[in-house]
Amino acid sequence: MKQVLQNLGTGSTEIIDTPCPQIKKGHVLIKTKLSLISTGTEKTAVNDSKTSVVKKIMNQPSKLKKAWDLYSQEGLDVTLNAIKKQFDFPITMGYSNVGVVIGVGPDIKNFKVGDRVLSNGPHAEVVNVPKNLCAKIPDSVSNEDASFTVLASIGLQGIRLINPTIGETVAVMGLGIIGLLSVQILIANGCNVIAIDPLQERVDLAKSFGATGVVLSKDDPLLKAQQLTNDLGVDAVLITAATDSNAPIEQSAQMCRKRGRIVLTGVIGLNINRNLFYEKELTFQVSCSYGPGRYDHSYEQLGNDYPIAFVRWTEQRNFETCLKLLKNKKIDCSPFVNNKFNVENIKDAYDQISSENPPLTVLIQYPENKKLLEKTVQLTTPSKKIDADKANIAVLGVGNYSQNMIIPTLNKCDAQITSLVSQNGLSSTLLGKKLNIAESTTDLASIFERNDINTVVIATRHNTHSDLICQAFEKDKHVFVEKPICIDEIGLKKIKQNYKPNKHFLVGYNRRFSPLVEKIQAELSGSDQPRFIQANINAGFIPTDHWTQDGKVGGGRLIGEACHFIDLARFLANSSITNVQAHAMTNTNVIDENISINLQFKNGSLAVINYYANGCKRFAKEHIQVSHAGSIYRINDFKSLNIYSEKNEQVIKLKKQDKGQLNMFQQFLTRIEQGDAPLIPIEEIFEVAEFTLKARKEL
């Protein structure tokens, strides 16, 4: 299928072939008929992408702070690489899509195959959209009209915040497509509307809908407002303009009556004159997109609706309202449907919106495509013949860690990666093209059936790990799984039952393969003296709605991340774990964000793991210390090792941080090729999983 992308580095628009997305739980799979380009929003995105990297960063203070924090913690090279990667991968464009349902998730009840729907899906032949961001289109509403629903909902949400009553006078400042749609909604609500814009043709359009027009280059908006309200001032102003100027907010305040309301849906300068707002006791509010639910992970991605008794209007209910307005002819979109392009000519469409006199909107049409539903896309022809005696790999999951660490590290090992698998098909396609990998697919089931693939690398979300491991064992595949192997006892039991001793099974406990950890083990080899191990992990804050914090998906931070250090302590103690205790800091939002884990080992060793999110990003992330027989070994963020003894102090410095990923993968691939013993004994893998789950229970 075809997908439209915007290159953040160059500003160019491109169209690529990607696999058809998987049907996801809570999602609706839609075959696109039309999508709409909103000139205002997408022209801004195109123009911004054409600026320099420095300007892009400077224009986003939050990202500038992230870059500084990363530089403070990881150094210049890591920071520059991270910035480069941000601009290496293009982004999807579009957020107003009309199509027909071709698949639904297992829990979907309100949509069925064949329904004609509106969604906020991007410009693509097939889109996979959460159910709360879709709405059924009434039979009498055309696809062209329905494609304006999302934009109308942005205006509608601003109007809801104004809360206008019949007979009130409302000024709409800025007559782009959202402003013109808002004019019509306000008139349908029984309001008197003053429509304000610099362009005569846009003001004329608003007048044709029944508004009073004000052309800024000819008319005085304040005078017009006084004339139309008997010098009282307008009841409210909806600002839908896009400008750096402060003029819209100043003019809005001047036009308003006492205790008037101003709502902003656009983007303007906000150097507010306090006296104007103070003397009239004006209220000012910024409207957030389509309505309640926007940017709420629980509502948008997990499909948890707000109870109607407490939140009457949500994103989805705003969509449905706009579709009813279209059905009842309260909104007329016919003046806006003038420019149509086939998706193959998308570059011409973006050239048009980037012109000096762009149209308000452009519609993208999607002709029939026989390859629309193909789940696998061939990216390249393999440059060399596959060696059957080596690991021939499919990587399952192409999220951030997989993109930034696992796959690049496998590439450094000259690994044979045949296929990248992702749910949406886009991330695997982009990375596959960049790294010259043969194919991208969303057909997960086929991977396990293929004889040419003997190894799977599992880097999906944590709750899927145990099932995928078992499927791989069932089909006689070698398995590497990024930690954890499971998030509960049920998953661990299934893995134990399905484990194949003749297959290599490795968990991504890479720190035990760091050269600094290996140096400590070499120093301590042959000694039967117990060891005291301390691990202080300045893990940093993760938002509570991040998937790793969800106990049913990520398992939480102890299971998903702190297990690394339980394994590392097990390795450094060189002994089996006999007991675990865990304590959590109280009065925090997440139970396992700030924790202390105590481990006892059979040989008398002890370990204390302090894992905390309330530290400082500018401080190093990880300090590991081992005390043993009069010596202390201290790893400093896997960049250096200090060895203290009664005789002297030794310092070993690495050229760059090394947490052992490359060494781990090199050894894993070599053992598969040579048929050697597993890299980590299976007993240790299961033991670490068991005591990680016990530690979580302790909390």
Q: How confident is the model at residue 693 (pLDDT cuts 50, 70, 90)?
A: very high
The residue-averaged pLDDT of 441-448 equals: 96
Residue 699, both tokens: 């909390």
User: pLDDT tens digits for 562-618?
Assistant: 999 999 999 999 999 999 999 999 877 788 889 999 999 999 999 999 999 999 888
Quick one: DSSP state of residue 124? B
Residue 214 and residue 338: Cα distance in Å, rounded? Answer: 24
Q: Is the pLDDT at 85 greater than 70, yes or no?
A: no
* Alpha helix positions (H), 288-345: 297-300, 315-327
Q: How confident is the model at residue 117 (pLDDT cuts 50, 70, 90)?
A: very high
Q: How confident is the model at residue 84 (pLDDT cuts 50, 70, 90)?
A: low
Mean pLDDT taken over the chain: 92
571 or 62, greater pLDDT: 571
* Alpha helix positions (H), 489-553: 489-498, 515-524
pLDDT of residue 62: 58
Q: Token pair 């929003």 is at which residue?
A: 41
Assess contact for 67 and 83: CB atoms under 8 A. yes
Domains within the chain, CATH numbers bracketed = 2-148+333-365 (3.90.180.10), 153-286 (3.40.50.720), 376-505 (3.40.50.720), 511-698 (3.30.360.10)
Beta strand extents in 105-139 (DSSP E only): 116-119, 126-130, 134-136
CA dist list (Å): 476 to 205, 391, 491, 508, 668: 67, 13, 19, 20, 17
User: pLDDT tens digits for 532-545?
Assistant: 999 999 999 888 88
- Indicate the pTM of the whole model: 0.87
User: pLDDT tens digits for 210-264?
Assistant: 999 999 989 899 999 999 999 999 999 999 998 989 999 999 999 999 999 999 9
The total number of residues written for the chain in this structure: 699
pLDDT of residue 399: 93
Residue 44 CB partners (closer than 8 Å, separation 6+)? 242
pLDDT of residue 60: 61
pLDDT of residue 676: 87
Q: Is the pLDDT at 281 greater than 60, yes or no?
A: yes
User: pLDDT tens digits for 386-444?
Assistant: 788 899 999 999 999 999 999 999 999 999 999 999 999 999 999 999 899 999 999 99
377 or 647, greater pLDDT: 377
pLDDT of residue 381: 79
Residue 566 and residue 347: Cα distance in Å, rounded? Answer: 52
Q: Is the pLDDT at 73 greater than 70, yes or no?
A: no
Q: Is the pLDDT at 185 greater than 80, yes or no?
A: yes
User: pLDDT tens digits for 295-332?
Assistant: 998 999 999 999 999 999 999 999 999 999 999 999 99
